[in-house]
Structure 1
């Protein structure tokens, strides 16, 4: 059994303040004996005021939050999945990019969110992530102290082919950092996360944003850890904070032997319209 830490945040409009919270979480997780910390989508900045946010949207090597998290990971000897940051690409567009940082502060994997959240909700909320962000093109797995980790971000959750590909690449653990809206979270969060864990036969960790943010948006919370059998091991509810859960790699093997759906998966050719 290996212990992980999960951070549930209410990130705001000041990257320095968000970095303060991330550094505290890294120190606390390491002191508790966790092998790895998982943080939400947009851990460094949540601000839909584009003019106000613009000064903080910089290239990766200039991002203060990333630098401080890397330094804290090295200082405390802790692996971190920094769920995502908004970083500027070479072409000037933004990427919603997650990072896996090892216990020496080195970036060992990057993942750019592939599926962008362009929706109009019944609540009246309208989101156009593609207006500012470019989609990622590459699925990513990386070996960590808690197993081979497959990376996804938030809206990716609705696209099971990505999770099938990650499992087929050897992932035994999936991470889905998120900033789910309250309406979609209440309707779909738990069922989709449990389904992805069951389909892939993996542990799944979903660190989430929660509550009322400074920019006026509201997020659902309920950071989850789900077992390969689909059991909810941890549900953090709506309060921000740090929680811990145990990951047992042997459980992945046991579930896949009991229900070997991954081995039974077949390529689907053209659909015949009868």
Structure 2
């Protein structure tokens, strides 16, 4: 039964400081017996000031943090699921890119966030992610991680069940949902949607989140969660503070749930009208 760790962060505008937090968490995860660490969306830089952030956003192959994370995974033996980082993608736009660093791999497996957070909230918050970010186009799952076949998503992807349906069709054992949810949307929808996605995919959902008041002025909801395939919450790290949480993943639970409710097998294609 693999043990995983989730890093709930309050990332700021200094990537070097954020990396140091991740590095210390990887070591603590290893020392706590975890085989894998999950971090939130935009772990290395959370800055809504796009002019200021631009100095830190470079192509993936030019980022110093990508080889540093690969070396960290290799040296500790811990698989690192970096929730996401911003990378320059060409054409004047960036990608919100999730990366998985396996201890024996020379390069990470990557997934670019598909769904852009373009909203006006009743609280007065307004977000236009598509102004700076290019949407990803590929569904990504990774075989042979410590939690089995792992599907990758990022934050706002949570609201689009077709993506999770595709990962369910791939029979993913776990799905990562790193996030930086706002407080209003988090309080309203975070728990119920994560539980629903776990039930729909008959898979574990692992959601490391940003939390608290950030240097750039935003506030995030926290409540990093692990949900089992039956929809039971195994870990909830609360909405108050950053920190490291641990959870045991009973992979045998997946087959038990899929035998009781074989919805993945019974699903039919819905004809278009």
The interval holding the TM-score normalised by the smaller chain is: over 0.9
Instruction: Say yes or no: does 1:163 pair with 2:155.
Output: no
Give SS of 1:222's match.
Answer: coil
Q: How many angstroms apart in 1 are the aligned matches of 2:180 and 2:105?
A: 25
Shift of residue 63 of structure 1? 1.7
Shift of residue 41 of structure 1? 0.2
8 Å Cα contact 1:10/1:213 also seen in 2: yes
Q: How many angstroms apart in 2 are the aligned matches of 1:67 and 1:221?
A: 28
Q: Deviations over 1:205-259 (max 9, x none)?
A: 0000000000000000000000000000000002101010011111000000000
Give SS of 1:61's match.
Answer: helix
8 Å Cα contact 1:72/1:105 also seen in 2: no
TM-score (normalizing by structure 2):
0.97
Give SS of 2:90's match.
Answer: coil
Corresponding residue number in structure 2 for 1:211 = 212
Corresponding residue number in structure 2 for 1:25 = 25
Q: How many angstroms apart in 1 are the aligned matches of 2:140 and 2:105?
A: 19
Q: How many angstroms apart in 1 are the aligned matches of 2:52 and 2:37?
A: 29
Corresponding residue number in structure 2 for 1:259 = 261
Q: How many angstroms apart in 2 are the aligned matches of 1:268 and 1:28?
A: 47
Q: How many angstroms apart in 2 are the aligned matches of 1:27 and 1:67?
A: 17
Corresponding residue number in structure 2 for 1:2 = 2
TM-score (normalizing by structure 1):
0.97
Corresponding residue number in structure 2 for 1:56 = 56
Q: Deviations over 1:172-224 (max 9, x none)?
A: 10000000000000000000000000011001100000000000000000000
Corresponding residue number in structure 2 for 1:226 = 227
After superposing the two structures, state which structure 1 stretch, 101-110 or 70-79, moved more. 101-110
Give SS of 1:122's match.
Answer: coil
Q: Deviations over 1:104-146 (max 9, x none)?
A: 3533411000000000000000000000000000000001121
Corresponding residue number in structure 1 for 2:250 = 248
8 Å Cα contact 2:230/2:257 also seen in 1: yes
Corresponding residue number in structure 1 for 2:45 = 45
Q: How many angstroms apart in 1 are the aligned matches of 2:28 and 2:107?
A: 21
Q: How many angstroms apart in 1 are the aligned matches of 2:207 and 2:93?
A: 26
How large is the Cα RMSD of the aligned pairs?
Answer: 1.0
Corresponding residue number in structure 2 for 1:194 = 195
Q: How many angstroms apart in 2 are the aligned matches of 1:270 and 1:102?
A: 41
8 Å Cα contact 1:99/1:107 also seen in 2: no
* Structure 1: tracts of 5 or more residues without a match: none
Shift of residue 169 of structure 1? 1.1
After superposing the two structures, state which structure 1 stretch, 78-87 or 88-97, moved more. 88-97
